[in-house]
A and B are shown apart, each in its own frame.
Chain A
Amino acid sequence: MSHVPTPTQTYDLSFARWVYGHVDGGDRLALCMQCGTCSGSCPLGPQMDFGPRKLFMMIRAGLKDQVLGSNTIWNCVSCYNCVVRCPRQVPVKHILQSLATVAVREGYPGARETDNARFAKAFWWSAAKYGRTDERLVTAKFYFSYGLSKGYRKSMANLAIAKGMVKARRMHLGLPHKCKNAGELKLILARAAEIEARHGDAS
């Protein structure tokens, strides 16, 4: 990923312009007219440091660290209310989640430590390794990413749910489900990662 500019004065547009050009959906962000439909439609809006409307104004104001350090970008539940309701067709969900990816890549304090980033890492491990999501292994890998004792506590807290799922035959015991041709998928994903990196370098 190319260098993310750090604004040197208030309302310096360098960061906003970088977001317009490099973040998924960012090309429509300049159309935001600050109406607040997104924030008002967001199920987790009240729990965010700033709603999407305010976050978008902060991008224009050059507040890069506050934007990439906010919990807003990690609280998107992918409900798409904002996407279908925005009168300017700004893909709010895409922008928030892409900023989360930027925060991880840029090494923002805490970004890698968020629950979501840990879970996303565990999830991708299963999808890429087996070609399928093994909900047991993803959950276990996610819990134990916090260390042995916290992982054990989290596992025990959810033991009743896990037992219920096994009893309901919605969680199996034994080897993970996997693609027969996981090797082929691995080749495809390796090439895709090269393309992703190439785009990052060029942009």
Chain B
Amino acid sequence: MSKTLSYYPGCSSQATGVHLDKSLRAVLGKVGIECREIEDWNCCGASVGHICAGHVPVAALSGRNLAQARAAGPEDVMTPCAACYLNTHATNEAIRDNPGVAADVNEALGAAGKSYDGSLLVRHACEVLVNDVGVAAIQAQVTRPLAGLKVAGWVGCQTVRPFADTERGGKWTTYDDPAFLDDFTRAAGAEPVPFTGKTRCCGGSVAVISPDKTLHLMKDILDEAKAAGAEVISTPCPLCQTNLEMYQPAVNERFGTDFNIPVVFYSQLLAVAMGLDASADAGLDQHLITPEPVLSRAK
């Protein structure tokens, strides 16, 4: 297939989540999705912007991104980041459904001579991969299956909540046990382990702000992954990946555990399985807990 989408990489694509952006672009190239990056995009406000600034300024952040995307064309906007998806999708829907929000955002955009009519659809990259590309077409690109690799598929929160059940949010079948991540794992030739904590929360931004409050949440996720025999945890969310990786030493210190489980993005597993370069394309060399030994055993 061949399709062009507007692409909103989000701030983490230049920092903690650079390996998500890199590996996803590589995988999308393989399956015929062209990413047209939103010109001069800005931050979406993430999970905390509104606490300080209020709702109109946060909506204006997404409003500018959407105006930039619309000016470049009518194609859907795709983002790989859970929080970017949540904020951008929510603002877009509010502009469509709520005339008051549409008026506020456009009044703010007017200060820079911009406007946005709400005509775009904002989508998560996983939903595009499932519904536009299809798991079979992804699998067809796999040349080096990760045979025998045991993967716990951990979706996290905001990729599916709160929009999974809505028509414009992709109409997923469930909030609590989504199958798409395990489908990606199988497409890569690896083996998904049974994992009930698929949409368990790591603490999100509160884990960054006050890790002490949320270490037990991360321990629960690591406990289940380990008990299920997972060699690696796969996730679509940049904050989930960073939190669960960088706080494993703190979890070990607090609870006397010895976790050292690599946490990777689904797109990294797919990139490697598609025969792309492990470092330049998949970013496997950009981890605090290296996944390279377990992945090379699988090949």
Interface of A toward B, CB cutoff 8 Å: 24, 43-44, 47, 75-81, 83-84, 97, 100-101, 104, 115-117, 119-121, 123-124, 126-128, 131-135, 139, 142, 160-161, 164-165, 168-172, 177, 179-181, 184-185, 187-193, 195-196, 199-200
Contact = CB atoms under 8 A, between A and B. Distances in A.
A116 B16 contact: no
Interface of B: 11-12, 14-19, 40-43, 45-57, 59-61, 63-64, 104, 107-112, 114, 157-158, 161-162, 164-165, 175, 200-201, 203-210, 213-214, 217, 242, 246, 249, 285-288
Given A191-B108, A193-B53, A164 B204 contact: no
Given A123-B46, A134-B15, A184-B64, 4 more contacts: A44-B213, A133-B15, A193-B56, A200-B54
Taking each of A44, A79, A120, which has the highest tally of chain B beta carbons within 10 Å of its own beta carbon?
Answer: A79
Nearest to A44: B213
Given A47-B213, A120-B48, A78 B286 contact: no
Contacts of B51: 97, 100-101, 104, 116-117, 120
A115 B210 contact: yes
Contacts of A43: 200-201, 203, 214, 217
Contact of A132 (B43, B55, B114, B162): B43
B57 A189 contact: yes
A116 B49 CA distance: 11
Given A78-B204, A81-B161, A131 B42 contact: yes
A164 B54 contact: no
Nearest to B207: A77
B112 A123 contact: no
The 5 closest A-B pairs by CB, nearest first: A80-B161, A191-B111, A192-B60, A79-B201, A192-B108
A191 B49 CA distance: 16
Contacts of A116: 48, 51, 206, 209-210
B62 to A, nearest CB: 11
A119 B19 CA distance: 25
Residue among A43, A119, A161 with max Cβ neighbours from chain B (10 Å): A43
B208 A119 contact: yes
From A44, A127, A172, residue with most partner B Cβ within 10 Å:
A127
A150 to B, nearest CB: 14
A83 B206 CA distance: 18
A187 B111 contact: yes
B161 to A, nearest CB: 4
A154 B288 CA distance: 20
Contacts of A195: 56, 104, 107-108
Contacts of A135: 11-12, 15-16
Contact of A168 (B53, B54, B287): B287
B108 A171 contact: no
A80 B201 CA distance: 10
Contact of A172 (B15, B47, B165): B15
Given A116-B209, A172-B15, A192 B57 contact: yes
A83 B162 contact: yes
Contacts of B204: 77-79
A100 to B, nearest CB: 6
A97 B53 contact: no
A132 B175 contact: no
Nearest to B156: A79
Given A24-B55, A127-B43, A179-B40, A188 B288 contact: no
A75 B206 contact: yes
A17 to B, nearest CB: 20
A81 to B, nearest CB: 7
Given A75-B206, A123-B48, A170-B19, A80 B107 contact: no
A161 B246 contact: yes
Contact of A127 (B45, B47, B110): B45
